[in-house]
Amino acid sequence: MEISAFLLFWAAIFTSNILLTNFLGMCSYLSVSKEVESSMGLGIAVSFVLVFTTALNWLAYHYLLVPFHIEYLQYIVFIIVIAAFVQLLELLIERFAPALYYSLGIFLPLITVNCAIFGVSLFMVIRNYNFLQSIAYGFGSGLGWLLAILMLAGLRGKLREKMVPAGLRGTGISLIITGIMALAFVGFSGIAPIQ
């Protein structure tokens, strides 16, 4: 409980990156990272949704589930909150910012099944964060995920014309790149432990 929200924010980006150390959000990370622009769009959408769903789930957990002693229903409640929020966001963006909808809209349904969103809410409960810490952790995780997918998309763009062994093409080489990135991020660990 003694970690400040500010420290937690930076720690979530670098020392315990949601993707490179906790392996969350791998599916969309591997499938969307072919282009830098779409990676950017998805990353921004993920960060935005993470901040709000973490806040909503924190409120739902502490004011709904804990008072009634039904903590075991947290999975169902969290999933419903995330799905409902994404749906609402989609409607709002479509109504008020059609231009944004066309560049970001296709990613929104993908986000509901992105395990990073759900995982951050679960980590928040397990590590007992307070409200401010949860928001900082959610936002930091989103930016960390954005950073990772942007790096992979840039590197994959460079690799497109290169000779890669046939069996490694696509997912295999992406995983190796991610492994090297994760090695680099291990260098940050120890600066600010958050567990």
Partner 1 sequence: MTRKEIFINSAFTDNAVWKQILGICSSLAVTNLMMNSLIMGLGVTFALALSCLTVSIIREYTPRSVRMIAQTLIMAAYVIMVDIMLKAFLPDVSKQLGPYVGLIITNCILMGRLEAFASKNPPLDSVIDGIGAGLGYTMVLLVISFVRELFGFGTLFGFKIFGSWWTNWSIMVMAPSAFFLLALLIWFVNNKYYKVV
Site residues (CB under 8 A) for partner 1?
20-27, 30-31, 72-76, 79, 83, 113-115, 118-119, 122-123, 126, 165-168, 171-173, 175-176, 178-180, 182-183, 186
CB-nearer residue toward partner 1: 103 or 194: 194
CB-nearer residue toward partner 1: 35 or 71: 71
Determine the longest span between alpha carbons in the chain, in angstroms: 59
| CA 158 to chain CA mean position, Å | 24
Q: Whole-number minimum distance, CB 179 to partner 1, in Å?
A: 3
Residue 11 and residue 140 in contact, taking contact as beta carbons nearer than 8 Å: yes
Residue 134 and residue 5 in contact, taking contact as beta carbons nearer than 8 Å: no
Q: Half-sphere exposure of residue 112, counting CA atoms within 13 Å on the CB side? A: 16
Q: Whole-number minimum distance, CB 79 to partner 1, in Å?
A: 6
Q: Whole-number minimum distance, CB 99 to partner 1, in Å?
A: 27
C-alpha distances (whole Å) from 144 to each of 59, 95, 120, 138 are 24, 30, 12, 10
Q: Whole-number minimum distance, CB 150 to partner 1, in Å?
A: 18
CB-nearer residue toward partner 1: 105 or 119: 119
Phi, psi of 47 (to 5 degrees): -60, -45
CB-nearer residue toward partner 1: 67 or 167: 167
